Structure formats: structure tokens, C-alpha cells
Amino acid sequence: MKKRKLGFWEIWNMSFGFLGIQMGFALQNANASRILQIFGADVHELSWFWIVAPLTGLIVQPIIGYYSDKTWTRLGRRRPYFLTGALLASVGLILMPNADMFTAFLPALWVGAGMLMIMDASFNVAMEPFRALVADILPSDQRTLGFSVQTILIGIGAVIGSWLPYVITNWFGVSNSVTQGEVPFSLLLSFIIGAGVLVTSILITVFTTKEYSPEEMALINEHEEHDDEESSLLNIFSDFKKMPLTMKQLSSVQFFSWFGLFGMWVFTTPAIAHHIYGLGLNDHGAEYQNAGDWVGILFGVYNGVSAIYAFFLPAIAKKVGRKMTHAISLICGGLGLISIYFVPNENWLFLSMFGIGIAWASILAMPYAILAGSIPARKMGVYMGIFNFFIVLPQILNALIGGPMVKYLYGGNPIFALVVSGVSLLIAALLVIKVKDVDDKVITNN
């Protein structure tokens, strides 16, 4: 039995939930540092608060991948997991900016950090089953298209999420003024809207997508070799040791890519407020809130660029190969991040975001398209979960050393954290050249 080819709108609906996931993720990435600073965090402490997110991903992802490989319910194999993740993430989105409501029990900063952990863990629960769903349902010659459509929807959702606080303030007149220790109402409203869109988009995917049954998957994968090893959650460790060569090679690419991305998400707002707007590191007044809203616009720009560029990824990959496509894209992103140091004013940052958007599109699509052809379909979920190790480990490392580097190595200036992030993407571009893409020839020939 062969997998049937899907029409474009079937692939679109299958990945539509990613729009809501990324809208929530964008709200978190653009505003979590600002919210934590409002609740009392210093700039060099920010990366430590962010560490809970990748730590939970490190634990959650392989377990979710393992059990999603084994789960068959009325909702299917992967859908129960990203539905549960979306519901939990929506709770985190609503409660994080309202953390000051719980000051009778805990400091708002602790509650805010806890909600950040819940949000990111829940996004992790939702994301990787979505990746595995594409690999489950699509034949190999449609996987690049499938992951590219995901990237398009990620870009659209991220643009909406990133721009929402600015739009609510400047188009609808909702105040972004800040009272000591309280999050602006425009930001509160943005997070509530994000939670609603997240749940709605996930439900669209759940009700419009049909997964293959266990019997159908057995027929599709009957050519695979099966080992006699008893199935167990502990087998994650043996699966880790048995990683395919392509996955091992991609691990270093992912490491440097996500080290750079994490630095960008944590330090862009304080870096631009200090380096471009000339504000003090502890100035969190009206001008800082305006800088934070502008960072949301910039993040929306790079996500918008990624959505557009994702349309062209399959055609570019067909011409030059997936490895070269990814390498060129990472170079654009690295140069974009480094350029932030040199721009004369905030308007020039749009050019920086253009390069970052190209890299972001490729990071969300190409490694997964390359990986999917190298791992057995019956372990797609667990290997996608293990692959997440190389996303969360660099974030944990950056979380541990990023703040002290800003404080002691960069003299308190977070702009240099963005420069280092750019260099990290350039290193990833060099490493991707050596990756063995086992089914790229199939895609190119088709």
C-alpha cells in the first residue's frame, strides 16, 4: 500500500493548527522578556528565567514522541497530543501577563516564569506531533511541500501574534501605559486573543484531518525491517544511540541554529531599547514599552518574510538541493543578526529582519524535510522527539551562560548577544554542507 498524494488544501488544513501555535509562540517570544522585566527581572537574569522552557522540552519531547507513536484513539495517533498541548498553552497565555493576580501566594516574577514554563512545555507537546503528522501522512515527494506549508502558516500566525500589541495600541487606541509592576492592558488583551485563536485553529486541524489507521500504517510500512526489541519507554535511550547518520550530522546544525535563535528571542528587546533607542538598561517606562511594541513589529516582519520565502523553498530546493538551500538561508540570517549592531536607526532594522526571516523559514522546514527520509516511519514520533534534544540543549546552554556573558563579557550591553547569535547561524551554515540527505535525489528527480 502506498500513501496517497494530498491536494494543497488538504495539506493546508492538516497544518492549520500551527497558525495558532505560532501566534502564541510569537506573543511569548516578543513579549516574555518585557513582561518579566516589568515584574522585576534584571536584563542579565532574563536568560535564567527562560531556561525552564527548554528544560521542559528536553524532558517532554521524547516522551510525547514515544507515546504518540503508540497511541491510537478515536481522534487518531497525533491529534490527541497537539490538542492537549494547545489547551494547556492557552491557559499559560492567559495567566502569564496576569501573574500579578497571584501575589498573595507568590511573587509575580515567579508566577510569570512558571507560566512561561507551562506555555513552552505545552507548545512543545503540540509542535512535534504536528511534525510527525506530516511525515506520517505525506509521501516522500510531498514532504518538502508539507513542511513548507507549515512554515507558511507559522509565518502568518507569527506576524499576527507579533504585531497584535502594536496594532491594538496604535490602531484601536488601547493603552500601553504601564503602572509599576503591572502589564499594559494592550498586552493582556493580545495574549487573551492569542489563546482563543490557538484553540480554534487546532480544532480546525483536528476535525478536517484523517490519519491512517494502524492497519493501513502496517501495510504502508511492511517493507521496513523490524527488530525484536521489546517496546519500552526506556528504549528512547537505545534509539538515541542508534540515530541515523543524517540525524547525527543535522544535530550540530540544529545546535548552532537554535543557540542563535534563543539569544535573539531573549535579548532583542533590551538590546534595541539600549543600543538603538538609547535607553538605560533599567528604564522600563513609556519609551521602553514603545521599543517593545516596535520589536513586535520587527518580529512580525521576519515572520512575514519567512511565510513568503517558504512558498519558494520547494522550488529552490529542487534546483540546488535542500542542503545548499538551508546553508544559504542560514548565512542570510547570520548576516541579518550581525547587521543590527551597525544600523543607524530603528527603520533600518527591517533589512536585518529580512535576512533573519529567510533563515527562520528554512530552519522550520529544511532540517525536518531532510530528517524525515532517514528515519523509520514506525519511530517517526520518537525520533522527532529525540531530534528536539538538539533544539533545547543549545537553548539551555545559552540560558545558563547568556546572562553572565552580557553582564561580565559585554559590559552589560545586550547588543553583543545578538552579534554572537549571528555568528552562531554562520557556523550552522558551514556545518550543513556535510549532511547526507538520503532522499534528496528522489525529490529532485520528481
What tens digit of pLDDT does each residue of 197-228 get? 999 999 999 899 888 887 787 787 765 544 44
- From 295, 98, 299, 287, select the one nearest 188 (Cα to Cα): 98
CA 80/CA 76 separation, integer angstroms:
7
What is the predicted pLDDT for the residue at 284? 66
Site of grid cell 552580557: 406
Is 263:418 a contact under the CB 8 Å cutoff?
yes
- H or E element: which one contains 366? helix 349-372
User: Helix 143-170 crosses helix 8-15 at what angle (to 10 degrees)?
Assistant: 60
Q: For residue 223, tell me if it sits in a domain.
A: no
Write out residues in the chain with pLDDT < 50, as ranges.
Answer: 225-231, 442-444, 446
**How many Å separate Cα 63 from the centre of its chain?**
19
Give me the count of residues in the chain: 446
What's the maximum distance between 2 C-alpha atoms anywhere in the chain? 64
For residue 195, what are the contacts with CB-CB under 8 A and spacing of at least 6? 24, 89, 90, 91, 93, 94
Question: Is 132 among the domain residues?
Answer: yes
Angle between helices 108-137 and 8-15 in degrees, nearest 10: 150
| 229 falls within a domain | no
Helices (H), ranges, 96-220: 108-137, 143-170, 185-208, 214-220
Helix, strand and coil content of the chain, in percent to the nearest 5, comes to 80, 0, 20
Number of domains in the chain: 1
Report if residue 236 sits inside a domain.
no
Say which CATH number the domain at 315 has. 1.20.1250.20
Instruction: Confirm whether 117 is domain-assigned.
Output: yes
Residue 258, domain member (yes or no)? yes
Coil/strand/helix, residue 76:
strand
pLDDT of residue 442: 44
Look up residue 77 and give its DSSP letter. Answer: S
Contacts (Cβ under 8 Å, ≥6 apart) of 117? 52, 53, 56
Host domain of residue 96 = 8-212+242-445
Residues 136 and 383: their CA atoms lie apart, in Å, by 13
> What pLDDT, on the 0 to 100 scale, is given for residue 416?
95
**44-75 burial string, b = 16+ CB within 10 Å, else e?**
bbbbbbbbbbbbbbbebbbebbbbbbebeeee
Residue 226 identity: H
Helix (H) / strand (E) containing 91: helix 79-95
Nearest to 135 by CA among 126, 123, 144: 144
C-alpha cell at 318: 529542487
Residue 430 pLDDT: 96
Residue 357 falls inside a structural domain: yes
Contact between residue 370 and residue 343 where contact means Cβ atoms under 8 Å apart: no
Q: Kindly state whether residue 218 falls inside one of the protein's structural domains.
A: no
- At 259 the pLDDT is 95
Sign of CA dihedral 147, 153, 156, 160: negative
**What pLDDT, on a 0 to 100 scale, did the predictor assign at position 439?**
65
